[in-house]
């Protein structure tokens, strides 16, 4: 059996802990750990990265950049932060995008997609590749997220017994329309301008629902049925992405953003009428939106079975 030595820089954080949970039981993986007192010590982290077959960075952007500067050139790195997602020489880790798997397998430096970006790209990229959406399009995208998306700080804010009343209501953020995921979305989808994007954080732990409405006339005349078939064809055979048939009835006519919490797969829904189409992607911001996606990429990079150590796949 081939064994792999893995270091998680930022193992005490939300994303790092979830990766550790997934890998802890794998008998072909040895996790390198730093004692609490040394987990932010640059020399100790550099030493771990030099020893590991692969290092996950589960750090704020600045610390992720610092980690890369500390790592030997030979180190294989899987970065969950925003720091390197549009950097040249880094592979963007979305295996389901056509032609991407081979690049991930041989990647030395891999950037794991942002959570909101994962849903938006999953919906826009097939439309762009199939010619239904011109590069000049500027779709309006919405995304609902649980508060774990904000890491330890936001989780503590929501858990505080004396928290402000405002946290009990959904809150729109990114009001300047310059969310940090827009550059990677624009780059991956080959758009000449970033989409218009409004994220909303609400009072539940995890789960993400991205929605993008279109007029049929803006999709080169493709109606919902045609769009649903396009997504089904694009993601055919993918274990982690399930495309529901057009207008699949939800029992109560609603989509709840937390339905895939704790899972690693993504669901795609296409609904609407003769004139308008609504595209939705539902997944866990900590699963396909972070730790699950990171482990999926690691498996490809190490030549392991792609879906090993992932929790329940696409429903």
Ligand X SMILES: CC(=O)N[C@@H](CCC(=O)OP(=O)(O)O)C(=O)O
Query: What is the phi-psi region of residue 10: left when phi exceeds 0, alpha when psi lies from -120 to 50, beta otherwise?
Result: left
297 labelled catalytic = no
Decide: is 15 part of the binding site for ligand NDP (CB under 6 A): yes
Considering the complex, state which of residue 67 and residue 133 has its C-beta at the smaller distance from ligand X.
67
* Active-site residue, selected from the candidate residues 58, 115, 141, 297: 115
**Toward ligand NDP, which CB reaches closer, 271 or 285?**
285
Return the half-sphere exposure (C-beta side, CA atoms, 13 A cut-off) of residue 272.
22
Positions that interact with ligand X (CB under 6 A): 81-82, 114-115, 145, 149-150, 154, 180-181, 199, 201
Continuous segment of H or E residues that includes residue 184: helix 182-189
Q: How far is CA 11 from the centre of its chain?
A: 18
**Cβ 147 to ligand NDP shortest distance, Å:** 9
Pick the closer one to ligand X by CB: 129 or 205. 205
Task: Report the 10 Å Cβ neighbour count for 261.
Answer: 19
Q: Identify the residue among 55, 143, 148, 188 touching ligand NDP (CB under 6 A).
A: 148
When asked if residue 152 is in the footprint of ligand NDP (CB under 6 A), the reply is yes
Q: In angstroms, rounded to a whole number, what is the distance separating the alpha carbons of residues 89 and 68?
A: 13
Task: Answer positive or negative: Cα dihedral of 171, 175, 181, 186.
Answer: positive
Order across the sheet with 29-32: list the strands: 29-32, 4-9, 54-57, 77-79, 109-111, 91-92
Q: Is 262 in the site for ligand NDP (CB under 6 A)?
A: no
Task: Spell out, one character per residue from 153 to 172, where the chain touches ligand NDP: x when CB under 6 A holds, - when not.
Answer: x-------------------
Which of the residues are catalytic?
115
By CB under 6 A, name the binding residues for ligand NDP: 9-10, 12-16, 39-40, 58-61, 63, 80-82, 114-115, 148-149, 151-153, 285-286, 289-290
């Amino acid at each position: 059996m081939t064994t792999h030595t893995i270091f998680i820089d930022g193992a005490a954080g939300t994303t790092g802990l979830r990766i550790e949970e997934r890998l802890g039981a794998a008998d072909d993986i040895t996790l390198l750990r730093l004692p609490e007192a040394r987990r932010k010590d640059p020399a100790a982290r550099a030493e771990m990265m030099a020893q590991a077959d692969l290092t996950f960075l589960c750090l704020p952007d600045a610390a992720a950049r610092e980690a890369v500067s500390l790592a030997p050139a030979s180190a294989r790195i899987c970065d969950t932060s925003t720091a390197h997602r549009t950097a040249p020489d880094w592979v963007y880790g979305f295996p389901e995008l056509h032609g991407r798997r081979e690049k991930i397998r041989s990647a030395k430096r891999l950037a794991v997609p942002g959570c909101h970006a994962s849903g938006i790209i999953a919906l826009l990229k097939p439309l762009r590749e199939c010619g239904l959406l011109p590069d000049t399009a500027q779709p309006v995208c919405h995304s609902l997220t649980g508060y774990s998306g904000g890491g330890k700080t936001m989780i503590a804010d929501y858990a505080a017994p004396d928290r402000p009343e405002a946290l009990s209501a959904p809150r729109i953020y990114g009001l300047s329309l310059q969310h940090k995921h827009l550059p990677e979305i624009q780059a991956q989808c080959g758009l000449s301008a970033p989409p218009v994007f409004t994220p909303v954080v609400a009072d539940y732990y995890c789960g993400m629902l991205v929605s993008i409405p279109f007029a049929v006339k803006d999709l080169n005349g493709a109606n919902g049925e045609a769009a649903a078939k396009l997504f089904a064809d694009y993601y055919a055979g993918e274990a982690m992405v399930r495309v529901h048939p057009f207008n699949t009835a939800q029992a109560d006519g609603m989509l709840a953003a937390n339905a895939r919490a704790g899972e690693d797969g993504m669901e795609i829904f296409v609904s609407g009428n003769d004139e308008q189409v609504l595209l939705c992607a539902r997944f866990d911001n900590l699963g396909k939106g972070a730790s699950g996606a990171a482990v999926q990429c690691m498996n490809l990079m190490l030549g392991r079975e792609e879906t090993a150590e992932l929790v329940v796949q696409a429903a």
